[in-house]
Each structure stands twice: as structure tokens, then as C-alpha cells.
Amino acid sequence: MTQKLDLLDIQGNIIRAYGRFGYPMARYVFFNIRHSARAREFVGTVTDRVTTAVEWGEGPGQIKQPDWTVNIAFAYQGLKQLELPRASLSGFSPEFISGMKDRRDILGDDGPSSPENWDPIWAENRKNRDKDVHIFIALNARLPALLEEGYAWLTGVAKQYRDAVAILNGHRGEHGALYDYQDVKAVMENGQPTAKEHFGYTDGIGDPVFEGAPNYDLNVRGRGKQLEDGSWAPLATGEFLLGHIDEAREYPPAPEPILLSRNGTYMVYRKLHENVATFDAYLDEQGRKYPGGKELLAAKFVGRWRDNGAPLVKAPDAESKQKFDAEFAAADQAGKDKLLSDFTFDDDMSGAKCPFSSHIRRINPRASLQMVKGSKPGSMIFNKDAFDTPGALSNRRRILRRGLPYGEVKDRSRDDGNHGIVIMMLNTDINRQFEFVQQEWINYGNDFQEGSDKEILLGNHNADNKFPSKAVLQVDPNSDQAPYMLSKIPRFIETRGGEYFFVPSLTALRMIAQGVVDPT
């Protein structure tokens, strides 16, 4: 029997990437708790306004789509301040308890990405009790005025509970000014919101599809899990929601009581600065040398063309790209999604189209990790007998990605402007999913037979002459072309802060607010 989720109990940001549902802007506000009992009342008041995952409609009896949404999550320190029982607290995962800063070595947050360089709100977090980040509240809105409306509501509630919670300042904005909130919004082109980030790539394609999510059966191809017979199935719900069966046919580890964790999940919040000048300069310099030209090279970094996100496995060169573009232009929304997501690496095992170190291959290798060396130098072939299912090595490493760009690029010749992306990743096991991908697939390349080569775009590259970062762009092993080597890759992305949060269900929120969480 297929899974039917209680969408009224699940927070809306878990199921929906709001940016794709007509909410191109958001504001993230973080609170420090000053009085536990009153802070629980604050949580209760906010909970009444929290946006669920329910399906919206205009018909009678249907819930109307709101003008702005509210979602809430807690850092471990926050749950402690809300006085959850110790037996419940100790059931949370060790990495959630430790927090993102403590995991810097695993995440590769070194050099310019190290916590002492983070925005003050994140640098001060977990150093001084009064500066600890306890509560996260996200407001997403359709229009700027509506975002202000939502923010006015939230600051009104915060004022009402000013003895209990304080808004934390310290988000860096324009010219180093510090703000009470983190603003994010879609990059605009001709007055219209786009799905682009500041390097010019189309973002947010191919989010995983899991059982029970609305319409999961419609877009499972390329976004669920690859099966042996070439078909696709949705991923197990328990990879993304606690209290449900995961890909190992088990319940993911979660705190007691089950009502506290069920329909909730963990959220990884990361503010990533984009060095646009460094990126442009490197792309220009290498693009002049790269035989395929600059735009193909940009596509090789990510595995998708920058303009419309066309996957390289479907459009590996200019000619096939033209064909793809024609098809893409003619397709409806569902057709477009299919064109962008419905592919495998089965016909590109040697990485000639989509390089092993490109973004999409590293974060979701699909069945391509089940490879062994072929007879020709540089060729890899599918080792289909090694595992039960083609996705055996990747189905437990999938992550829901939510996020929007922040800031604006005013001067592309400078790195130090206020521009980047805030990404929120949702999974039921931060260590097994997010941290593994970050450590093993983004900042290391051994699983891809690429030695210590990092993912080209997100890797914590070191351009230092002693240990320069490099990546190889493979070519067809049957051709006489030489692989192209990207050398001395500089760091394009720098971490500016973040923390691990727990996103409870609506039931759990009400229990937390009432102080009735009881693990016995």
C-alpha cells in the first residue's frame, strides 16, 4: 500500500521549495531564548500561524494559498532552553547536538570558510549563552510588501514576548552592515524573478521525490531512485521525514517520544558567499583555452548548461544543445521538468559528457558509482552485478534542497560584495546524508575514482602552489582527444555561517509549546 502523508502535520517548507510556488523572497529571523516558560508560549503563538504542507485550493472547504508563509525550527541549544526532557534531548543525533561549527573539519570549513570568518551571528553562536541561536523562523512571501507585512507580524509577536525571546543581530548585508535578519530573494532579470544564482546557473532542479509527497508519481523519473529494469520509484519517506521507513527498511534514529520526531526532520542551514569576480576570471581564463569554449566549460563545472539547466548527458555539445533548446521551448511545464531531470549516467559511465567532478554528478551520482575500469584507458563500465539495485550507493545520500540567493552583484569585478546563496538542506540523518556528501563527494573524489579532486564549484579549493586543486574533464575513451585538466582551481564558495536545526511536526510544535513532551 502506498504511503499517505498527513500534510496538515508537516511543515510546508519540507514539502515545498517555496521559490517555485510563487514566493521568490524570504526573510530568516533567529531568536535567543531568555525565559523558558514564556518562550514556550511564544512558540505556541507562532505555531498557530505556521504554514503546513497541505494542498492549497480556491474551492469550498479548501485552504487558500497564503500571501506569506511561516516556518519554524530549533537548534539543539534552543530545545534545551525550551526544557525538553533530558531523555528526549539525548535522543537527537550527535552531530545535531554538537552543531555545525563543531563539525568544521568534517565539512571542510577551513581558511576563508572557517567559523571565525562567519557572520557575527554565526561566529558568536555557541560561544556565549546570550548569543546562542535557539529558534529559526522563516517568512516567505509573494511580494516585497507582503514580506514586510509578515515581518511586522513577527516583530509584533516578538515584542509581545520580549521578556522571553530576543531577535539576534549579526547578519552581514551591504557594505558590512549588520542586520536583524537574513534577506534572500530570487535573482531578477527584466523585473522577473529567475531561478538563477549569482554565477548564472539555473538552480533548484531535480529535487528528490519521495513516497507520499504530493504528485510524487508524476515526476519520479530522474528524481526518485533508479531501478534495475530502467524504471524509477520514489525514495522512501524515511529519508526525509522522521518516523517513517527509510531506504534500509528501518525507522531512522530519532528522539523519543515518537510524537516529537514523527513528521519532523533535520535542516542544515548554510550561508554561502559566492566569489563572483574569481569565478568570472577563472572561467574566462580557462574558457579561452578549453577546446569547447567558455559556455560549455561553465556547463562542465555543474553538469548543466547555465541558461536553461539543460543536462550535459542530454546536450553534451553545441549541436545537441540546440536540439534540446527547441524541444525545451516547445514543452509545457511538466515536459520541461522531465527534460531537465529525466536522465541517467548509464550512457556516460566514463564521464565524457558530464564530468566526474561536476556539481550534479557529485551531489547525486544516480547509478554511476557502480563502476569499474573498462579495457580502454580512461574508460569506466557499469558493474551491474555488484549491488542489488542501481542506486545502492546513492539512495541513502539524497537531500531535499531549499534555498534562495541573497544580495545583489553590483560589481562583478569584486568578490567582496554582499552576494551568495542561503541553502537549507533537509534530511533525516545529517551525518549519513548531508555530511557524507559534503565530506566524501564534494571535498574528496575517491568514490568517483578522482583521487582527492574536489567538486569543481563547491569544493573547498586551495589555489596555493604547494597543493593546488585540480579537476579532470574526461573525454570519450574511443576518441583521440586528450582530457582537459582544470588546474589551480580557486575557491569560488565560502561558508559564512550556519547551524543544524530540527524542524518539528505541527503536533510536536504544540507539544513543545505546552511543555508536554514526555519520553516515558
Partner 1 sequence: MTGNISGNAYALTILSPIKDGYTPDEIAYADLIRDRLQGWNMEHNSPMAKVPQTYLCRFFVLDDVYTESLPGAGFLDTLSDLLPVVPDRTRRNALPKEDHLQSRYLVFSCNFHGGAGGDLEGYLRGMWGAIGDRIREIWGYCYGFEQVTDADTFITYMKKCQLPAALFFNGSNDEPLEEQLKALYLKQELAKFAAENQGLDAATLRRNFQAFMQRVAPTNLAEPTWPAGKYRI
Judged by the rule CB under 8 A, the positions of this chain that interact with partner 1 are 289, 467, 470, 482, 484-487
Q: Positive or negative, the Cα torsion across 507, 89, 166, 434?
A: negative
Classify residue 237 by its DSSP letter.
G
Residue 340 in contact with residue 310, Cβ under 8 Å? Answer: yes
Q: How far is the CB of 452 from partner 1 (least distance, A)?
A: 11
Contact between 169 and 180 under an 8 Å Cβ cutoff? The reply is yes
Closest approach, Cβ 453 to partner 1, in A, equals: 10
**Three-state SS annotation for 406-449:** EECCCCCCCCCCCEEEEEEEEECCCHHHHHHHHHHHHCCCHHHC
Residues in the chain: 520
CB 421 within 8 Å of CB 450: no
- Identify the residue whose cell numbers are 575557491: 491
Nearest approach, Cβ of residue 280 and partner 1 (Å): 21
Which residue lies nearer to partner 1 by CB, 80 or 470?
470
Query: Measured from the CB atom, is 300 or 496 closer to partner 1?
Result: 300
Q: Which is nearer to partner 1, 222 or 459 (CB)?
A: 459
For the CB of residue 289, give the shortest distance to partner 1 in the complex, in Å.
5
Q: Which residue lies nearer to partner 1 by CB, 318 or 485? A: 485
Q: How far apart are CA 205 and CA 364, in angstroms?
A: 12
In the complex, minimum distance from the CB of residue 424 to partner 1, in angstroms, rounded to a whole number? 34
Find the shortest distance in angstroms from Cβ 165 to partner 1.
Answer: 46
C-alpha cell at 102: 563543531
477: Cβ–Cβ under 8 A, 6 or more apart, which residues?
Answer: 350, 352, 374, 376, 377, 378, 379
Nearer to partner 1, 218 or 372 (CB): 372
CA–CA distance, 208 with 239 (Å, rounded to integer) = 10
Of 330 and 482, which CB lies nearer to partner 1 in the complex structure?
Answer: 482
| CB closer to partner 1 out of 132 and 450 | 450
How far apart are CB 514 and partner 1 at their closest, in Å? 44
Q: Which residue in the block uniquely carries the three cell numbers 528501518?
A: 250
